[in-house]
Amino acid sequence: MRVRAALVAASLLAVALAGCSDDDDATAPPADPLPELPAHTSPEADPGDLEVPDVPGTTFAPFPSLGFGIAIPEGWNATRLDEEAFERLEEATLAEPFFLDAARNVAATGALFYAAGVDDQGRVAEIKVDVDDGADATVESVRAAAEAEVLAAGGTDVNVVEAEDGRVRIDFRLEQEAADGDEVIDSLVSRLLVPDDEQVWSIVVTSEDPATQSAVLTVVDAGFVLAG
């Protein structure tokens, strides 16, 4: 099944990256309904001191205890990456059951949050959130390490965008063999680095389609918020 192969392969892109876009007209692809997971799928979820962004066509996932919240396209599967959330996923009825396996793969990289959607052609798009809170964590140091990883992984068309607010986005393409070995997937990858005092947030977007990538990056750019 191509969707499964693509999703599992994409989830292994440990050096994949995310950011912003000027394409406000593009729309994200439809996918499975969000499973009922704690903290972020209910309209009554408490955002704490997080400012809920107004991003049409999205659901807001607040994690005040972790210090961030993020908007995700409506219809995507999404989960925190911890055992409690995995237990809830195991009990949920998913149209794409392998989402749980993909989430566990992403959790193994140390990420905190994972969301994914599948369009009607079986193409996968993903959002991952992680944070670097090491003693020397700065946008500059994380950026240098990320760029080196991209080149080592064979990334091409590398482009770095610097924003006035200190955010940095690294865009690139990466060809990766699908999990079933039947094809090579050309992935579009972006990584948004967001400074936050003595830590750096990393929001990674991966997809297989330029229009989808642009749409999801627009959502991430407008919908990733930090605790005040």
Domain ranges of the chain: 2-226
CB 212 within 8 A of CB 25: no
pLDDT of residue 94 exceeding 60, the answer is: yes
pLDDT of residue 22 exceeding 60, the answer is: no
Looking at residue 13, its pLDDT comes to 45
Work out the average pLDDT over 158-173: 92
Angle at 137 between CA 131 and CA 143, to 5 degrees: 85
Task: Report the share of the chain in percent with pLDDT over 90.
Answer: 39
What's the topology of domain 2-226? Protein Transport Mog1p; Chain A (3.40.1000)
In this predicted structure, which of 13-22, 87-96, 175-184 has the lowest mean pLDDT? 13-22
pTM metric for this prediction: 0.82
Sheet harboring 168-177: ordered strands across?
A: 77-80, 113-118, 124-132, 199-207, 184-196, 168-177, 156-162
Work out the average pLDDT over 175-195: 81
CB 5 within 8 A of CB 180: yes
User: Which of 228, 214, 179, 197 lies closest to 19 in space, CA to CA?
Assistant: 214
CA terminus-to-terminus distance, the chain? 44
At residue 201 the predicted structure's pLDDT band, cuts being 50, 70 and 90, is very high
Looking at residue 44, its pLDDT comes to 54
Rg (CA), the chain: 16
Q: Cα-flanking dihedrals φ and ψ of residue 122, to 5°?
A: 80, 10
Bridge partners of 50, per DSSP, are: none
